Amino acid sequence: MRLTPITVKNITVENNVFLAPLAGYTNYPFRRLCKGYGAGLCYTEMVSAKGLKYGSENTEELLYTDEHEGLCAAQIFGSDPAILREACEHEKMQPFPIVDINMGCPVPKIYKNGEGSALMENPALAEKIVSECVKSGKIITVKFRIGITEKKLITEEFAKRMEGAGASLITVHGRTKDKIYAGDVHYQEIAAAKRAVKIPVIANGGVFSNEDGEKLMAETGADGVMVARASLFDPQIFCELTGAPTESRLEMFKKQLKWTGQVCDERFTVVFMRKMAAFYVKGMRGAAGYKERFFRSQTPEEILAIAEECFQ
């Protein structure tokens, strides 16, 4: 894939291959892993603006970072412009110069609250959110889908509105809200957004290989691509896309296990790394047996012992 730096307002991101915000997965250790494999910019899990306002400990934990990670973007969600601006200005957001507003989440409870993808049906409110968040001094970006259903695609007009409200970059997931993560990616809709605005456009959807990334760039004219689910099965997809050096799956797993244990308690580390192991063994001979053993494990040491056996 053709790599280029991307300038987002006054910050230059080293390359145009991004890690998507993935609820339940893109915590600090996973982001650090992907960044080491070549991801130009990584996003936190989506963070509730209300959770930050009301001091939710779990919400604040999602924003953990340190000097090893480097440049990282935070993603927030909500529907109240004032509360979203407060979230941008929260002390826990200080390490993140770039804040992304989630306007594409299809999860029913988010949508029913008028948040995430529901904001695509209320473009005036979406504009107000962006313009209010810009006042915080953060660089504001927006991630959205091409519409709620294929009967009403909003990509071009919504892209223009986000740029007009002050967004410095947009990411377009080339599927409608009702398709969740299935179905074909509408290249032409992402291309329409790219033609409609002057700010960088990142294309999201269906990137599981370098060939997929090249096709998405060629078909849409986008400035870069965002990788989502593929990174869960193999974070070293970023090596394939960027040419960064690879390492063994065992070394990758040991690194993630170590970093997770350094910043999270043992229970979280065990539960999270069991989930990751289930992705990493998919397609391997004996995967079902290994997956069952991982999910029976109770300590990091047990998890490591199984990994040393199956990832050799």
| Catalytic residue IDs | 105
> Which positions ≥6 away from 170 have C-beta within 8 Å?
141, 142, 143, 144, 159, 162, 163, 193, 197, 199, 200, 201, 202
> Which positions ≥6 away from 112 have C-beta within 8 Å?
118
CB count within 10 Å of CB 108 equals: 9
Q: CA–CA separation, 138 vs 88, rounded Å?
A: 7
Q: CA–CA separation, 130 vs 124, rounded Å?
A: 10
HSE (side-chain half, CA atoms, 13 Å) at 238: 28
Instruction: Note the helical H segments in the chain.
Output: 28-36, 49-53, 57-61, 81-89, 108-112, 123-134, 155-165, 187-196, 210-220, 229-233, 237-242, 249-263, 266-280, 287-296, 300-310
Helices (H) and strands (E) in the chain, counts: 15, 10
DSSP assignment letter at 244: P
> Which positions ≥6 away from 151 have C-beta within 8 Å?
none
Tell me which residue of 285, 24, 25, 280 sits closest to 294, measured CA to CA. 280
Are 74 and 63 a contacting pair, CB within 8 Å? yes
Q: CA–CA separation, 56 vs 48, rounded Å?
A: 9
